Chains A and B, each alone.
Chain A
Amino acid sequence: MPDSQPAVSLRGVGRRYGERVVLRDVTFDLAMGQTLVVFGPNGAGKTTLLRMLATLLRAHRGEVSVLGRALPDDGYAVRGQIGFLGHEPLLYRELSGRENLRFHARLHGVLATRVDKVLEAVGMAHRADDPVAECSRGMVQRLAVARAVLHEPELLLLDEPLANLDPAAITQVDPLIGAQSGRTRVLTSHDPAAGLAEADLVLGLKGGRAELLAPAADVTTDQIAELYA
């Protein structure tokens, strides 16, 4: 995909659940390698936006393009290049972390040796053979990070990725999902200062509308706080 083409492009995108509209007329472009941070109160449409970009939901209005491919028609072509970290870890509780990651590695056509590398990278190698059900929330989140980056995706979609992680774990996963990962990222946050520090572009959603869309350098924490007022 040429670098001049946006990694993510939305044009007038809308989405509803039944009669309830959760996204209205959302438009933005995100360049390759950049980070978009999405702010907004609960129910603003952040998770829906991420799930749409992950090909898990369809837009009911407008056009969505991810890594140069139009969704949902070309979803198959981009799935292997997207790393999705949502509220659910997408891990089977009765299987161990290693078994879960090996399963996902097989689905993504990734070598089993990569599983050990990511387990080491998230600091879970020593508990990799414990059932996920016996892991703490923070450990499960580390495993979920490992799952999301297992196939070395170009685009990361991260829904409050640092939830449940202690400071040491945050430092540990930063090379994988932080700014230094070098990947294009769309992430949601409720922390204006921390979110702004991560962002190249800021999107503020309220009631499904894009109330704020600007380069991070032009946005203040007060403007973000207003979204939650």
Chain B
Amino acid sequence: MRGTVAALLAKELALELRTRESVPAMVMFSITTYVIFHFGLDANTVDGDLASGVLWVTLLFAAMLGVNRLFVAEHEQGGFDGFLLAPVDRTAMFVAKAITLFGFLCVVEIVAVPAFALLLLGPPLGQALPGLIVVLLAANIGIAVIGTLVAALAIQTRARDLMVALLALPLLVPVVLGAARATAPLLDHGGAQALPGDWLALLALYDLLFALIAYAIFDFLLED
């Protein structure tokens, strides 16, 4: 399966570099949203729960843009058929797509998180960064797994964009909740507190649960 995943990842990277459809849109959305919050909240800086909420809600909606585009090339350009005609493990497509979305999210956050710190965050980002990176990675896994599963389901329907929002957002509530609660102490105005292990554990458990579900059912989503 490793070779198939590698082939799919190389293709995903080539397509994104060629079309630049997903990542730039996600980055632009994040930065624009932080600018809107900057003026909309009528506050120069935010911290704690509010900062965490603003950070994660924005990243969640930016992720939805990527989820919506995830299987479009497969659907519109025969990528599904081309893949299904090959003698390969079909779960490889799930793994490759989830890794792709995870990668997109990481790239977006490399730009969006500093932009958030610059535009909105009160306390300095540096102290919170190590813990924040752990939370970002854990949440990205959850968003990538659930987003890939939902995108594969939604692409078969006529109202793809609507279905992604309707299915993904409820499923991602625990991820965003866990991520926001785990992030809040890191962005405390008095300086970064310890990373709350219980929320991080919830995130990891939820990631694992959906990874197993997706692994078990993805094959059936590609079936006729």
Least CB distance from B155 to A in Å reads 16
Query: Would you give the 0/1 interface string for A53-92, flagging 1 where the beta carbon is closer than 8 Å to chain B?
Result: 0111110000000000000000011011010101011111
Residue picked from B10, B14, B77, B223, most chain A C-beta under 10 Å? B77
Select the stretch in A30-38, A99-107, A199-207 that faces chain B. Answer: A99-107
A86 lies within 8 A of B224 (CB): no
- Chain A positions within 8 Å of B73 at CB level: 92, 94
Q: Does A169 contact B (CB under 8 A)?
A: no
Least CB distance from B129 to A in Å reads 36
* Interface residues on chain B, size class: 20 to 34
Least CB distance from B88 to A in Å reads 6
Q: What residue in chain B is nearest A58 (Cβ atoms)?
A: B224
Q: Tell me, in angstroms, the Cα distance from A56 to B10 when the chains sit together.
A: 24
A108 lies within 8 A of B87 (CB): yes
Q: Tell me, in angstroms, the Cα distance from A48 to B86 when the chains sit together.
A: 19
Q: Tell me, in angstroms, the Cα distance from A54 to B86 when the chains sit together.
A: 10
A56 lies within 8 A of B224 (CB): yes
Known pairs A90-B78, A92-B73; A54 contacts B85 (CB<8 A): yes
Q: Does A227 contact B (CB under 8 A)?
A: no
Known pairs A91-B77, A94-B18, A95-B18; A55 contacts B11 (CB<8 A): no
Q: Does A93 contact B (CB under 8 A)?
A: yes
B3 lies within 8 A of A92 (CB): no
| Residue among A57, A82, A107 making CB contact with B7, cutoff 8 Å | A107
Q: What residue in chain A is nearest B82 (Cβ atoms)?
A: A90
Q: Does B221 contact A (CB under 8 A)?
A: no
- Chain A positions within 8 Å of B3 at CB level: 106, 109
Q: Does B19 contact A (CB under 8 A)?
A: yes
B78 lies within 8 A of A88 (CB): yes
Q: Tell me, in angstroms, the Cα distance from A89 to B84 when the chains sit together.
A: 14
Known pairs A57-B224, A94-B15, A107-B4; A86 contacts B86 (CB<8 A): no
Q: Tell me, in angstroms, the Cα distance from A94 to B78 when the chains sit together.
A: 13
- Chain A positions within 8 Å of B224 at CB level: 56-58
Least CB distance from A148 to B in Å reads 9
- Chain B positions within 8 Å of A106 at CB level: 3-4, 6-7, 10
Q: Tell me, in angstroms, the Cα distance from A76 to B90 when the chains sit together.
A: 10
Closest 7 CB pairs of A and B: A106-B7, A107-B86, A80-B87, A90-B78, A90-B82, A88-B78, A79-B87
Q: List 9 A-B contacts (CB under 8 A).
A: A55-B84, A56-B85, A92-B77, A93-B77, A99-B11, A103-B7, A106-B3, A106-B7, A131-B18
A residues neighboring B (CB under 8 Å): 54-58, 76-77, 79-80, 82, 84, 86, 88-95, 99, 103-104, 106-109, 131, 147
